[in-house]
Structure 1
Amino acid sequence: MTMLINVAERVVADALRGMADAHPELVVDVEHRVIVRRDAPVAGKVGLVSGGGSGHEPLHGGFVGPGMLDAACPGEVFTSPVPDQMVRAAAAVDSGAGVLFIVKNYTGDVLNFRMAAELAEDENIQVAKVLVRDDVAVEDSTHTAGRRGTGATLFVEKVAGAAAEEGAPLERVTALAQQVADSSRSFGVALGAPATPAKGSATFDLPAGELELGIGIHGEPGRERRRIMTSGEIADYTVDTLLADLRPGGPLLVLVNGMGATPLLELYGFNAEVQRVLRERRVAVARTLVGNYVTSLDMAGCSVTLCQADDELLRLWDAPVSTPGLRWGR
């Protein structure tokens, strides 16, 4: 497969250099692989740090800025960042109010963020952690013990980021992040496999005319393969799967997310079907976000994330945010 790169070994470093050129409001440390908002540390503010393998952009580096993350640690493609990156990020954003690590439930991420928290605490940085495990497709996989962390990460980073921006203490920011993580469910569908720069070809075989229900954001297997389905059929299956697990009692935040190679024309059409199903099931929708936010390189497909929201979560969702990947209210 043809890619817009120089050499595979430099793809992350080259992307970080380009990000630095495009976003002077960020400090991008290419050598140490840390992205920090330029005004960090903000006095009296809880610092938010997240990260994971590259290839999911704009997650996480594209969500660094006022109202969201204070720092992000990009690993190699589909590979966890290392503890040294996380400790460096925590030190860069700590103002004395503590640091929250937002961690997707993948084995490497969990182990490395845990080690980083211990190292940071040795440097007198108070650290709390929230684990995101929202994917209802499979309970365990080759990458996780328990559910995978996917689209809900965006909801957690946005709500916790807004609370931290308002000056909420670490305990409150952590509780809100945990509430969002616990109240969110996601499900993904692949129409085509992604290609990593190192491999240069598809990471798995998905025959023409088939799709994979419950795909992971690294191309991990889902629940089953079926013959191609219409947008409406996929929406019926996906939303019913999510509602069976979530059982909402109030309005939802909805993310209709592209995996990287699905254009907005298709995503908005798919969103129309998702909203249809929710109306038919008499489920209220408070806010909807459509676009490529938690991607899987050039995978064709989509995911849906539903979050049970109360008035406080909606207020924090609506609060101003100014990052490369998400921006409103400023």
Structure 2
Amino acid sequence: MGFFLLQRLAMFSLTLLGASAAIFGVLDVLPGNAAQVLMGPDADPDAVAALSTELGLDQPVLQRYGQWLAGVFTGDLGQSYSYSTPVAELLLERLAVTVPLAMLAMILCTALAFAAGLYAAARHRRWDAAAVMGLVQLGMAVPGFWLAMGLVWLFSIQLPWLAAGGFPGWTADEGGGLWPALQALLLPAVALAVVQGAILARTLRSALLEVLHEDFVRTARAKGLSYQQVLWRHALRNAMVPVLTVMGLQFANLLAGAIVIENVFQLPGLGRLLFQAIANRDLIVVRNGVLLLAALVIVVNVVVDILYALIDPRLQKHSR
């Protein structure tokens, strides 16, 4: 297991390094003057030249890339142009909204998917299972932003149970608290979770039905175990590898979807920060924010690989 973890750590480091090179290349190396973009096409040339020097754009590309990486490792991500605040503080402040939102959405997504997928697999070929899968198909077709607006109309306007937007904060000092903060994140989490939960439910059902046709399942049934016992004790664990793959991909989709959902609900999260930074042409925030999102996705994929190995130890041998 130790060698397996070292392999995954090395893969994480190399992947993150490649992601940083791609992000830096797209934002800093492609044709165009970032200082000119920030100040506008009609800016004074002397002011553009002064800003270029301040941003270090007059330095060689590799030197700028090395300085950025050094800042990433030391936590010095620079200063935001539009907020006049250290970028590291901005990102940490916004992560306190985006990460709980993604985690709450993932919990709801998993609960919905396992309830629907297990029910549809346990009652295969029955009308009620077909009805559940019909709802799953409908959930896959609903756009997240449209669902978000529908939830606001229903639960904030017609039934004024929850706020239509905003975030009160996690502490009483900020004017909120744990329960008000969770209430503010509930509708956005549902909007994110429904589509991903429908996809996961379909994947889980298919994986379970495939495993249920294996020889060891027939042997277990021949020994007297009921269909439900076989489903829970034997089939579910063996069906988890493809399900975990989809779950790892879904976390990335939840982070990407948060950019839209956070703007619908006016949540001060990382997605909204990136949207505003792009609008304000604050490239240093965009660069570090995108790298942070990439790091979160890579970490999730590493965790999924470790869970693979725990579920099926044979995968550790194949990686050597």
Question: TM (normalized to structure 1)?
Answer: 0.26
Q: Which has the higher helix share?
A: 2
Question: TM (normalized to structure 2)?
Answer: 0.26
Q: Which has the higher strand share?
A: 1
